[in-house]
Amino acid sequence: MYTMRALTYLNLILISVLFLNSCNSKKEKPEDSDSPVKKNTYLGQILPGLTPQPFAPGVVTTDGWEYGSTFSPDLKEFYFIRESEDKETQQFVVFQKKDSIWLNSVISQRVGQPIISPDGKRMHLGRRYKKRTKDGWSEVKMLDAPFGDLLIMRLSASANGTYYFDTYDENREDFPIRYSRLVDGQYEEPEALPKEINTGTFLNHPFIAPDESYLIWDAVREGGYGDSDLYISFKQKDESWGEAINLGEKINTEAEEIAASVTPDGKYLFFNRNVGSDEYENIDIFWVDAQIIEKLRPKRNE
Task: Please say whether the dihedral angle defined by the alpha carbons of residues 197, 200, 204 and 205, taken in this order, is positive or negative.
Answer: negative
CA proximity to 218, closest of 114, 180, 210, 226:
226
CA distances in angstroms from 146 to 131, 149, 163, 212, listed in the order given: 19, 8, 12, 21
229-234, strands of its sheet edge to edge: 201-208, 214-220, 229-234, 245-246
Q: According to the model, what pLDDT value does residue 100 have? A: 87
134 C-beta neighbours (distance < 10 Å), count: 4
What's the CA gap between 22 and 242, in Å, rounded? 42
CATH number, domain 4-22+30-301 = 2.120.10
189 C-beta neighbours (distance < 10 Å), count: 10
Q: According to the model, what pLDDT value does residue 86 have? A: 77
What's the CA gap between 166 and 168, in Å, rounded? 7
Q: Are 1 and 279 in contact (CB under 8 A)?
A: yes
Q: According to the model, what pLDDT value does residue 281 have? A: 72
Q: According to the model, what pLDDT value does residue 22 have? A: 40
Burial class, 294, CB count within 10 angstroms (exposed 0-12 / middle 13-18 / buried 19+): exposed
Alpha helices in the chain, H assignment, sequence order: 4-21, 291-294
> Residues in the chain with pLDDT < 50?
1-3, 6-7, 9-35, 299-302
Domain boundaries, given as residue ranges, for the chain: 4-22+30-301
User: What is the identity of the amino acid at 83?
Assistant: E
Q: Are 208 and 117 in contact (CB under 8 A)?
A: no
Q: According to the model, what pLDDT value does residue 302 have? A: 45
